[in-house]
Structure 1
């Protein structure tokens, strides 16, 4: 496979058909699964030690930043005075979060399908791909990819439940040395699963296969032609991590304000405004990134299953 042709053609597609960026933004909803982390705690000023004073939400030996501790006290006071009101608020927040999760899943699936289908059509020579055209082209494959994601979710829970206890026993009985072998194994397995997921989606969208037929197709392709997919997987993974690292740096700098007393005043306003202004930039950049990654995988699948045939020009002698 000609790697330079795949990567350069994918970028040309991304830059030419900017409607794909919207689907790339949607696609990020089904790709980003990382949780947010807080700042580190230190032994200096600006932190408060919670002691077990008998309150509902009091925990011993917990160190929190001053502002977080103040929010904690306000929440505990509200729970003591209006427990049912706080409970209803928490219940409402739970349902809102669940609704956002479901919405992100639908948008994520639509994005993955739209990027793959759009890149496939663009590689076939389509010259006009607006949002409505890509959306209409994606609809026949949406529910199959959605079912595929549900199967992935169910399989991850089942496999996680089956291997959790054996893994824990291995770690305990080997005094942790088993991790030296388990971690590389888990990395290899997760990498292979990532390739299978990408190629299964393209198989559904590009070859109009059912879910299980697409999984079988992607598996056979991985077994028969592993190295091109490994190279593409490594390149896209490293590129994704590098770009996301660069995009997260400004957020880290903004969050520094929340580790100081500046949060109680102008610092909070500046940090909040900076985050609001930077968020659209981050969303757009991540959308372009995932549009490119999805296009690369679509072209990779197509090149491995339908190799480019050099054009033969017949010369007619006069």
Structure 2
């Protein structure tokens, strides 16, 4: 059995004495979100448009600012028809869906390019610190993570997601069975289908929970086999599973301890969130200034291809993640601390299990490493 108390204490020591890890923790936390002065014809058209949607929006005051009128006219011409006659705008909805999917895919790729090198770097930096007591700079640490090991770590996550995806498909199939059964005109088929679907859904949900727990345990070991032993993805999964089977009591107990710590951190984080309200007020102006830069860039680019309120909407959507990232920076830092601490715990657990299996105890948990 691993020494859980010693691992927890040592992980805390590393967290507070290896400050460069905090930068990687933040990266992991962020990646693991005209008036009536015109011609009579124009004025008549504007009033007609307002009257057409008057029952839907209630119109706008005659003395409303010009920008309000512009937004109102744009909404009545481009947004309301999508909801009033959706069958006539199928291609528009498809285009919007494709754009959203591409944006999500792009963001996921960018996050992966940061998350996996950062996670690989943290594991290797902690292992190096335990072996030699030496600390590296952020640049040196990033080099430890920016290599094929990070890609293999991504492959490990991809392979571990496959059984989860299958179980999600089973739950979706259960929903389709319910729909087909309710639509059936035969009472026997209706009842049997609903009962079968409910049973399939509960079984799939149970298997999903169990699989989620086992896969998370396996991941904690497999990604360290990739990071520290330079194993390939499948080799690391086999190695991690074999290690788990031989040491399931130690791994399972550590998982329970970390779950309890995670729950405690969640409660403390919720309290801290409200205690930091004065800090959020102070950060409002810096957050707005920082968000204005990417927002202005997005506005300048989109104004080349489009005009009107749509350019402002795109600029706002680009700026808002930066705004909230700066506004809630204290919580991001705290979340990063926990991610580093959790990673330290599993790295030291992996090291001690290997040492116990090899019947050797040199420099386990930094016993012989000078204090920083």
Query: In structure 1, what is the equivalent of residue 157 of structure 2?
Result: 149
Deviation of 1:233 (Å): 1.3
Distance in 1 (alpha carbons) for counterparts of 2:133 and 2:73: 59
The verdict on how the C-alpha distance between 1:76 and 1:248 changes in structure 2, with shifts beyond 3 A counting, is farther
Q: CA deviation digits over 1:217-262, x for unaligned, max 9?
A: 110111111011111112222322332343345668999xxxxxxx
Q: CA deviation digits over 1:154-208, x for unaligned, max 9?
A: 5533443256436986994268577777655543321111011111101101111
Does structure 1 residue 239 correspond to structure 2 residue 261?
yes
User: Please, what TM-score do these two structures have when normalized by structure 2?
Assistant: 0.58
Aligned partner of 1:229 among 251, 255, 259? 251
Does structure 1 residue 21 correspond to structure 2 residue 28?
no
- Tell me how large the CA RMSD over aligned residues is: 4.2
Aligned partner of 1:165 among 173, 190, 195? 173
Structure of greater Rg: 2
Aligned partner of 1:104 among 104, 111, 115? 111
The verdict on how the C-alpha distance between 1:176 and 1:242 changes in structure 2, with shifts beyond 3 A counting, is farther
Query: In structure 1, what is the equivalent of residue 78 of structure 2?
Result: 79
Does structure 1 residue 306 correspond to structure 2 residue 305?
no
Query: In structure 2, what is the equivalent of residue 113 of structure 1?
Result: 120
The verdict on how the C-alpha distance between 1:166 and 1:148 changes in structure 2, with shifts beyond 3 A counting, is same
8 Å Cα contact 1:29-1:107 kept in structure 2: no
Query: In structure 2, what is the equivalent of residue 281 of structure 1?
Result: 330
What's the secondary structure of 2:146's corresponding residue? helix
Please state which structure has a larger fraction of its residues in helix: 2
What's the secondary structure of 2:328's corresponding residue? helix
Query: In structure 2, what is the equivalent of residue 62 of structure 1?
Result: none
Deviation of 1:300 (Å): 0.7
Q: CA deviation digits over 1:82-129, x for unaligned, max 9?
A: 979x97888766544432222112212122212211111111123222
Deviation of 1:148 (Å): 2.2
Gaps of 5+ in 1: 36-54, 59-72, 256-268, 312-318
User: Please, what TM-score do these two structures have when normalized by structure 1?
Assistant: 0.66
Distance in 2 (alpha carbons) for counterparts of 1:179 and 1:112: 35
8 Å Cα contact 1:195-1:229 kept in structure 2: yes
Distance in 2 (alpha carbons) for counterparts of 1:154 and 1:175: 22
The verdict on how the C-alpha distance between 1:250 and 1:294 changes in structure 2, with shifts beyond 3 A counting, is closer
Query: In structure 2, what is the equivalent of residue 259 of structure 1?
Result: none
The verdict on how the C-alpha distance between 1:94 and 1:23 changes in structure 2, with shifts beyond 3 A counting, is same
Query: In structure 1, what is the equivalent of residue 11 of structure 2?
Result: 10
Aligned residues: 261
8 Å Cα contact 1:30-1:109 kept in structure 2: no
Q: CA deviation digits over 1:29-83, x for unaligned, max 9?
A: 564xxx9xxxxxxxxxxxxxxxxxxx9xx9xxxxxxxxxxxxxx99853524797
8 Å Cα contact 2:156-2:233 kept in structure 1: yes
Give the number of the structure with larger relative contact order, counting CA–CA contacts within 8 Å between residues 6 or more apart.
1
8 Å Cα contact 2:27-2:115 kept in structure 1: yes
Aligned partner of 2:211 among 174, 189, 198? 189
What's the secondary structure of 2:343's corresponding residue? helix
- Mean CA deviation greater in 98-107 or 213-222: 98-107
